[in-house]
Each structure stands twice: as C-alpha cells, then as structure tokens.
Structure 1
C-alpha cells in the first residue's frame, strides 16, 4: 500500500473544516494555540509533505533545512510576511494564501476603526467606565466628522477599493495612492482620485493604510510622513504594523500634531510598544480585522482547498485556487 502524504497543521482552527484533510492525508494537528520555537517548527516540518500554517508561524531557511519531503505550505491569511518566500522558492516549496474571502469583512472593520478613531469612541467608553460622566461639559470628547470629509487610502487593492465604496455612502471625497495608478474606469467606479504620496498625506482628513508590507514600506509612515498630516487628521492601520514608526506616532499624538490613531496591527505583535498603551486617543485592537466567524471559516476552507490541490489531490489537483509562489520539488 502506498503511504499517504503527511500534513502538519500548526494551530487549532475549525475542526470540521480541517477534517477534510484527513480524507487525503495523514494529519498531525496542534491541539492548542502555540508559539512554535524555531527548533520545534523544524521538527514538525521534517516529516511533512505539506503544512497548514497561520501568520503567527514564521518559516524560513532554517525551519525547512531538514524537511526534504515538504512540497507545499498553505498560509491562512492574505499576507505572508511570516514566510521567507525566496528560501521556500529556492527549496521548491509552493506557497498559497487566502485572498478575496476576507475583503469585505476587513473593509467593514477598517471603516469602523476609522470612525471609532475619528469620533473618539474608545476614549469615550473609558471615560464613561471611569465614572467621569458627572463632569460632563458641552465641549467634552469632541471628535472629527466622517461624513463629507476627505478619506486618504494608501494601497488601493481589493480592500482599499472596498473601503472606497463604503466612503461613498458617507459623502466622502476619496483620494488614493498606490504603487501603480488604477485604470480610469476603476477610478470612476470608486469615485477615487489618484494623488502623489505627499499630497495624500497633506489633504487627508482620515488616512487608512491598506498596503502590503515589504522592505520598501517598512516604517513608511515615519516622523517625516506624520509631519505632513494635518493636526485634525487621523491615521488608521489595518495593513501591517511595521509600516508605521510607532514611536514617531506617539510623538505626534503627544505633541498634538495628530488627532488620533486606530491600530489593528503592530510591529512587534503580540508585544506592544508600551507608549501606545498610554495614548488616550488611540484605538487598539488585536489584529482582528478579518475576524468574523463566516470569514475566518472561509479562510480556513480556502487554505485547506489550496493544500489538498497543491499536494495533487481532490478536484483541483495540481491547481491550487490561490498560489503565492510556485516552486517545484521532485
């Protein structure tokens, strides 16, 4: 009897969905949420033909050095900066991700986080819970309007365009900056105006970051960029934490050069820059922009489909729905 391929699942996900892997493979699943040490990750991958992993699971050359059988890694998430793509590609390992299925849910959250930041909702809740309502005055907790304001979107991919569609319902003017300009028809459909990076910063009342993380975007929003924003502006980040210089952001907030920030992602997550915790005008959420039940289930389902197909099984054998980087391993 031919030995079935072996698959490792790095974190507990949805048992009923992950169970589909068992129809094709021998599956080893991690029973509880775990931050795998590099040596433990390498040991788990050593005997695997495929792996289903999350953004919390970094994998590079060291982790795959003793994994001669490994042919595919299915990442549960759109981003994949947890994976060393050059190292995996050089080893002939195919990488997949889960785009599209989380676009609308993430756009909902990004817009909500921007609104919460503009209207100081997090600060207002803390103020109420602290028993300060008895000190109410007419000018307490005044925030900025969203309706009729200018929204700046940095990164006009699927999620950025979904946010632009939501902005239309609030009568917002939409500006965007992207690595490449969109087709004019797409701009018209989203009522979005392309501008340069500096102009985007200078004109936005509310700036939302939705661009991919890369060495080029690392701390793109630094002290110089923040200085170009107007004092009444807000910054919302649902992209990756490393895009924002968090100390520079805290400086801008403490010096009154920025009205507020909404952050769902952090450079050192799950560790937080302690200065962020001291900022009353920052809304902090723990990387949950895609966190609706339906969307998270859809992400895992797509990752499972990707892995089954990448290992040559199922109706899409050899044709995973969403490949990031194709490698070829004998």
Structure 2
C-alpha cells in the first residue's frame, strides 16, 4: 500500500504554478501586438502567436487554432466560412478583431454558432482623422508632385516661380467645401479639424445626428447625391457593410465636380476601384487620397502609375497610442468573456446573446 505521506510533495509555488498554467484558457494570436496588450495575454492565457510581418496564411491559422477557445485576429485575416467550418475551429468560443471594422469576419456565421465577436472602436479616432486631414492637404496642395519635382531638379534650385504659380491655380481651403460620408467618431473628428481650416462642412449619414451636427458646425444632407455634387472634397468615413460596399462607383464619381478630390480612410471596398482608376485617368475627378485599397494588402498597380493620387499604406491607426489602445481593448475583451465570464462592452453581435 502506497503511503501518501511518503510521496514527495511539490512545493507550494510549483504546485500553484502548475495548477494555474494548466487552467489558463488557450487562444491563438495572428500577430505580435504592442507590449501592453501582450502583457495582458501573458497574465491570463496560454497562447501561440504568428510572428510573420504579413497576413497569416489561412492554412497556418487553421492549423494553429486547434484546441483554442479564443482567437485574436487582424483586419487582414479572413475569418471566413472555410476557417469557421474546419474541425480545428470547433472549440473557439470568441473572436476578438484588432480593428474597428470587422468585414474580414463572417459575423453572421459566428452568430449562428453563438460565438461572440468584438472589435476595437474609439482607439484610433484621432489618428485616422489626422490622416484624412493630411490627405486633404496633400492632394489639394500637390505636395508629393512638388517634392518629386524639387528632388529631380538637376540645378538644385527652386522651381520657376511664374510657371509654378500658373500650374497651381488653387483656392485656399477656407473657400472649399468638405463632404463627409459617415458622421461617426472619425467623421466628427475630421469635421472639427476641417473647421479649423475654415472649410464648409456637409455630411451624409444614414442615422441623422442633428444635435451633434449643430454642435460641430456641420450641415446634414438627406441625400448623398447632393453631397457629391456640392463638395470639393468627399471623405469616406463610414464602415464597410453590405449597404456601403461599392457605395461609390462610376455613377457617383460622375456626380462629383471635375475639380473634386476623393478621400478614403475607411475601407477599400466602399469604392469600385476600377471605376475610380478610370475616373482619375479621364479626369472625371481631379484626384484621390487613399489610405485603404480594395484588395489589401495588395494594391492595384494602376493606382501607383497615376500622378493625381496620394497613396498611404493603411496607416490610419499608425500611432503608438492608437495601436496600444486597440491591442489592450482586444486582449481585455478576451479576458472579460473567457476568464471573468462577463460581457465586454464592444461586442458587434451582442444582440444575439443579450435580448
């Protein structure tokens, strides 16, 4: 008979270490997050993380999500029916998307399976509004073209003042009208910035916000067609949904002024990209400033050839504060639901579970 007391017992610290490590929920993370977020994950989860710099291959995601109850993914990671229907995905209880938008996630399918999805709203409002305002300035003043011309000037002198002045033919921004499509957090933040430049602000939004519009000095229009016709700049600041996908195509581009400029810091699929390229080539509109693209992370090479574009590599959240805030919110959402068994504030399909 085995004498229980003759068995060497582990020390208290080793016992608790083994106990708690074995009871931590297991999750998979598709990219290394800012340190503040990783520290939260270290405390509460067992996890593996994809350490590549590009989007995770689908087969790698499927392989590594096996036996995990949570998934923390990026906008570039399609969580589609192929992934969701795979046996390796069967234990997943929650998906946290490291982005405000979540069109990369098949929310409808996950809702059928009673799997909650969260996003990271509010963290990148100011950063994205800064990028949108920067694109307005860059396209209006043709900063890139002037920079390139100056760098290529063999004589190393300032360009011909008379010729340069004739080519510009610009009014100051205070004489221009900005039309904002989508008056959420980012749209409102952009309006406040544009007002600082003295611009007139129009807005079209599916949900009227008269009190907010009055407070920030925005004139709401009931028809997007009117906004397109009257605006010198059209900034897209709405989410990409079934209703807004391909919202801007050739018909809408032809409504805009020939001198108008399209700004998109929202999602590439809101615009029919081939139509936009054609409109820019044929000067149906003057220019475009884009931080997002239809087939991200790939970019249509035809856009790169155009001189009347300013293209940025989706840096609307590219501040330390924004990226850290998004990571913390995504990580804490997993902690709230999987560890503390409570509802995070940022469920995108919360109505499926709480009625």
Q: Above 0.5 in TM-score?
A: yes
The answer as to whether partners of 2:36 and 2:327 remain within 8 angstroms in 1 is no
Q: 1:186 corresponds to which residue?
A: 212
Q: Please give the secondary structure, in 2, of the residue aligned with 1:140.
A: helix
The answer as to whether partners of 2:261 and 2:286 remain within 8 angstroms in 1 is yes
Whole-Å separation in 2 of the counterparts to 1:124 and 1:135: 9
Q: Please give the secondary structure, in 2, of the residue aligned with 1:139.
A: helix
Matched, 1:44 2:64: yes
Q: 2:304 corresponds to which residue?
A: 277
Alpha-carbon distance, 1:37 to partner: 2.7
Whole-Å separation in 2 of the counterparts to 1:250 and 1:129: 27
| Structure 1 unmatched runs, 5+ | none
TM-score, normalising length: structure 1: 0.93
The answer as to whether partners of 1:118 and 1:144 remain within 8 angstroms in 2 is no
Q: Please give the secondary structure, in 2, of the residue aligned with 1:324.
A: coil
Alpha-carbon distance, 1:72 to partner: 0.9
User: Once structures 1 and 2 are overlaid, which stretch shifts more, 119-128 or 106-115?
Assistant: 119-128
Of 28, 38, 49, which aligns to 1:8? Answer: 28
Of 267, 270, 278, which aligns to 1:243? Answer: 270
The answer as to whether partners of 1:45 and 1:63 remain within 8 angstroms in 2 is no
Whole-Å separation in 1 of the counterparts to 2:307 and 2:70: 45
CA RMSD in angstroms comes to: 1.8
The structure in which a higher percent of residues are helix is 2
Whole-Å separation in 2 of the counterparts to 1:93 and 1:115: 43
Specify the structure having the higher radius of gyration (Cα): 2
Alpha-carbon distance, 1:16 to partner: 4.3
Q: 2:53 corresponds to which residue?
A: 33
User: Once structures 1 and 2 are overlaid, which stretch shifts more, 245-254 or 3-12?
Assistant: 245-254
Whole-Å separation in 2 of the counterparts to 1:88 and 1:33: 27
Kindly report which structure 2 residues correspond to 1:277-296, keeping only aligned pairs within 5 A, or say none. 277-296=304-323
Alpha-carbon distance, 1:144 to partner: 4.9
When residues 34 and 255 of structure 1 are mapped into structure 2, their CA distance, relative to the original with a 3 A threshold, is closer
User: Once structures 1 and 2 are overlaid, which stretch shifts more, 267-276 or 248-257?
Assistant: 248-257
The answer as to whether partners of 2:76 and 2:296 remain within 8 angstroms in 1 is no
Whole-Å separation in 1 of the counterparts to 2:158 and 2:147: 14
TM-score, normalising length: structure 2: 0.86
Q: 1:225 corresponds to which residue?
A: 252
When residues 242 and 10 of structure 1 are mapped into structure 2, their CA distance, relative to the original with a 3 A threshold, is same
Whole-Å separation in 2 of the counterparts to 1:14 and 1:163: 26
1:177-196, Cα deviation, whole Å (9 max, x unpaired): 111211x2212101111111
Of 275, 288, 308, which aligns to 1:261? Answer: 288
1:198-218, Cα deviation, whole Å (9 max, x unpaired): 100000011100111122222
Q: 1:320 corresponds to which residue?
A: 344
When residues 116 and 280 of structure 1 are mapped into structure 2, their CA distance, relative to the original with a 3 A threshold, is same
Kindly report which structure 2 residues correspond to 1:89-238, keeping only aligned pairs within 5 A, or say none. 89-131=111-153, 136=160, 137=163, 138-182=165-209, 184-195=210-221, 196-238=223-265
Alpha-carbon distance, 1:4 to partner: 2.2
Alpha-carbon distance, 1:130 to partner: 2.3
The answer as to whether partners of 1:45 and 1:64 remain within 8 angstroms in 2 is no
The answer as to whether partners of 1:60 and 1:88 remain within 8 angstroms in 2 is no
The answer as to whether partners of 2:234 and 2:263 remain within 8 angstroms in 1 is yes
Whole-Å separation in 2 of the counterparts to 1:20 and 1:252: 47
Q: Please give the secondary structure, in 2, of the residue aligned with 1:147.
A: helix
Whole-Å separation in 2 of the counterparts to 1:153 and 1:188: 15
Alpha-carbon distance, 1:32 to partner: 2.6
Whole-Å separation in 1 of the counterparts to 2:169 and 2:304: 21
Q: Please give the secondary structure, in 1, of the residue aligned with 2:339.
A: coil
When residues 175 and 44 of structure 1 are mapped into structure 2, their CA distance, relative to the original with a 3 A threshold, is same
